Structure 1
Amino acid sequence: MSNSYFQSDLLSEFDRLHQQVASLFGGFPYSVRSDRYGAFPQLNVGSTDDTVEIVAFVPGVQADQLNVSIDKGVLTISGERAPAFGKDEGDESRRYRQERFTGAFRRIIELPAAADPDKVSARYVNGCLTISVGKAEASKPRAITVQ
């Protein structure tokens, strides 16, 4: 009996299965606590006592090509990343492999109920778009004096 069935990389098979399952649910808005495998731009999301912090990694995108909007508790980041080389720049070279995403993109993040849409700021530095969404005063932790 051959052991060839077990010689394949089992972890890569689990990764492939994860990608297939994730692609089934890829078209719907999702909350801050979930992620879609392989989406661009990649995100880090966290919070402090005062803000929800979102960092989108968008290398190769100019700041004027990014759009950030918030509506009804949903934050949308969209834009477009131009090709690094190819027909758009007059280069007729053949690509043997392309791993870098190019084209239009959009990420939708459902914000927690504590987020205040009137307290949003965004800054873009070195390929990282950092968005800070303030929290409503009522949701912030506060000390209660015991009498």
Structure 2
Amino acid sequence: MYRSLFPGDLFAEFDRLQRVAERLSGSAGSLRGYERGGFPQINVGGTQEAIDVVAFAAGLDPAKIEVNVERGVLTLSGERPTDLPADLKQAATHQNERYTGKFSRAISLPDDVDPERITAKYADGLLLIKIQRKQAMQPRRVAIQ
């Protein structure tokens, strides 16, 4: 029989290596999770009529969020301020779970969306973006003259 290079669960070994790396670097995260910088978190879905993007953007000023569509890519960008009192900004941080700073998210769109028919609305900490799909080409009869 062959001996396994990783006895036991392979993911348990990854988790052990991650804990070692966290102790050495002082950072936290998950090898199986999303990379840092994925702010705001988004959900993308759709129907036959439209693509829906929901960005979880609580605490952001909607006037300072930019939504752009160019060459089939939807881009959300802006900045999330620290909003901490001055005395806490100087304190040493041991764990930081709230993302602050500049952000940019890019979402590839399918070919059948119409970039001229997009709406964005901010309500209750959610940025709701709807991009209508192009009208499907309907067969039509051509009259012979």
Q: Which residue of 2 aligns with 1:117?
A: 115
> Which consecutive residues of structure 1, in runs of 5 or more, have no partner in the other structure?
20-35, 143-147
Q: Aligned pair 1:18/2:32, yes or no?
A: yes
Question: For the residues of structure 2 that align with 1:16 and 1:81, how far apart are their CA atoms?
Answer: 23
The code of the aligned residue for 1:138 comes to A
The code of the aligned residue for 2:86 comes to G
Deviation at residue 99 of structure 1 after TM alignment:
1.0
Q: How does 1:22-101 map to 2 (within 5 A)?
A: 36-38=34-36, 39-85=38-84, 89-91=85-87, 92-101=90-99
Question: For the residues of structure 2 that align with 1:11 and 1:40, how far apart are their CA atoms?
Answer: 28
RMSD over aligned CA atoms reads 3.1
Question: For the residues of structure 1 that align with 2:74 and 2:52, how far apart are their CA atoms?
Answer: 12
Deviation at residue 93 of structure 1 after TM alignment:
3.7
Question: For the residues of structure 2 that align with 1:16 and 1:99, how far apart are their CA atoms?
Answer: 13
TM-score in terms of structure 1 length: 0.68
The alignment covers a number of residue pairs equal to 119
Deviation at residue 11 of structure 1 after TM alignment:
9.0
* Aligned CA distance change for structure 1 residues 122 and 95 (closer, same or farther; 3 Å): same
C-alpha offsets along residues 22-60 of structure 1, whole Å, 9 cap, x if unaligned?
A: xxxxxxxxxxxxxx5441111100001110000011111
Runs of 4 or more consecutive aligned structure 1 residues displaced over 6 Å after TM superposition = none
TM-score in terms of structure 2 length: 0.69
> Which consecutive residues of structure 2, in runs of 5 or more, have no partner in the other structure?
1-6, 19-28, 139-145
Q: Which residue of 2 aligns with 1:30?
A: none
Deviation at residue 116 of structure 1 after TM alignment:
0.4
The code of the aligned residue for 1:123 comes to K
Local SS of the residue matching 1:10: helix
Local SS of the residue matching 1:59: coil
